[in-house]
Amino acid sequence: MSKTSELQFIETDAGQIYDFIMYVLENGVTEELYPGDERRIFGEALAALTLALYSTMNDSAKQATLRYARGEVLDALGEFAGVYRIEAMPAMTTLRFSLKEAVNQNIIIPKGTRATSDYTRYFATSETSVLQAGSLYVDIEAESTEGGSNYNEIPEGEINVLVDLIPYIDTVSNTIETSSGGDVESDEDLRQRIRLSPSGKSTAGPKNAYRYFAISADSSVADAHVDSPSPGVVVITPILYGGQIPDQDILNKVLEACNADDVRPLTDFVQVTPPTTQSYDIELTYYTTPANETAVVENIEGSGGSIDQYIYWQGSSLDRNINPDYLRKLILCPEDSEGNHLTGADRVVITSPVYTELTPTTVAKFSGVLKVSHEVED
User: What percentage of residues in the chain have a pLDDT greater than 70?
Assistant: 97
d(CA 170, CA 179): 25
Supply the pLDDT for residue 322: 95
**Length of the chain in terms of residues written:** 378
In sequence order, what are the residues at sequence separation of 6 or more whose Cβ sits closer than 8 angstroms to the Cβ of residue 125? 95, 109, 110, 111, 112, 113, 140, 141, 142
Check residue 203 and give its pLDDT.
52
Q: What is the C-alpha separation between 244 and 249, in angstroms, rounded?
A: 14
Of 188, 116, 190, whose CA–CA distance to 154 is shortest? 116
Could you report the per-residue pLDDT of 308-317, keeping only the tens digit for each?
999 999 998 8
What are the CA-CA distances from residue 283 to residues 57, 293, 304, 348, 367 (Å)? 52, 19, 18, 11, 12
Alpha-carbon torsion (52, 56, 61, 66), positive or negative: positive
Q: Give the pairing of strands 276-288 and 362-376.
A: parallel
The pLDDT of residue 105: 92
SS3 167: coil
Handedness of CA 159, 161, 164, 167 (dihedral sign): positive
Amino acid letter, 47: A
- Surface-to-core class of residue 34, CB atoms within 10 Å of its CB (0-12 exposed, 13-18 middle, 19+ buried): exposed
The whole-number pLDDT of residue 6 equals 78
What span, in angstroms and rounded, lies between the C-alpha atoms of 357 and 259?
31
pLDDT on residue 205? 56
Structure letter (DSSP) for residue 335: B
**What's the confidence (pLDDT) of residue 163?**
95
Walk along the chain (378 residues) in steps of 10 and give the mean pLDDT of each run: 68 89 90 89 92 91 89 89 86 95 93 94 95 94 93 94 94 93 88 78 67 87 90 92 89 92 80 95 96 95 93 90 95 88 94 95 94 92
pLDDT score for 1 = 46
Answer for the pair 234, 294: CB distance below 8 angstroms, yes or no: no
Per DSSP, the three-state class of 115 is strand
**pLDDT at site 195:** 85
Per the CB < 8 A criterion, the answer to whether 235 and 267 are in contact is no
- Return the pLDDT at 204: 43
